[in-house]
Amino acid sequence: MKGIVFTEFIDMVEEEYSLDMVDAIIEDAAPPHGGAYTAVGTYDPTEMGALVGALARRSGNKAPDLLHAFGRRTARRFAEMYPKFFAGHQDVLTFLESIDAVIHVEVLKLYPDAELPRLDAERLDGGIMRLTYHSPRCMADFAEGLIEGAAAHFGEALSLARSQPRGAPSPVVVFTVARGA
């Protein structure tokens, strides 16, 4: 998993909780490098599960909700860090279509060994889009947060339904996204 996901997660914990919480969850998760995450590195994806699990135990929040909130935050942060990928899209649906078609293609040019999730976008009638998330990391809750965060960036209200409920880990999850709340 790309390091930026970890550094963003650590930043979130520091902002939302405290530096002490950061120390604590790193100690709990005990990654081999001592938690010295860098955005340009690549790390074992199970470390993310351990960090989220540690935060859930210590904060009293559910891990799926934490991942969801982290997804929303990451969408906002990506829009700040990589505005180029957001500019030029009139609405969130065309942006969501561009994730696999454009953004992941560009990411792979920079990091040929990156293991990216797949997000198949399919337009249905009535302004509805079906997004099928594929990832062995089973981070659909994070993906859901990202989709919602993207909609917020474009100032759009979306209603979102998913094939598996939040907190039910699955490598394939279908999101049905419709315009309007």
Residue of 34, 83, 136, 155 interacting with another protein (CB under 8 A): 34
CA pair distance 10, 60, nearest whole angstrom: 17
Contact flag: residue 81 with another protein (CB under 8 A):
no
Q: Contacting another protein (CB under 8 A), which of 18, 30, 39, 157? A: 39
Question: Which range binds another protein by CB under 8 A, 31-39, 52-60, 86-94, 146-154?
Answer: 31-39
Position among 17, 21, 28, 41 found at the interface with another protein (CB under 8 A) = 41
Question: Is the distance from CB of 51 to CB of 124 less than 8 angstroms?
Answer: no
Nearer to another protein, 40 or 168 (CB): 40
What's the distance, CA 143 to chain centroid?
5
Q: Who's near 174: CB < 8 A, 6+ residues apart?
A: 130, 131, 132, 133, 162, 163
* Min CB(55)–another protein separation in Å: 17
Q: Token pair for residue 115?
A: 């293991």
Distance in angstroms (rounded) separating the CA atoms of residues 160 and 142: 14
Neighbouring CB atoms inside 10 A of 123's CB total: 12
Cβ distance to another protein smaller for residue 31 or 53:
31
Q: Which is nearer to another protein, 14 or 120 (CB)?
A: 14
Q: Which residues lie near another protein (CB under 8 A)?
A: 19-20, 23, 26, 33-41
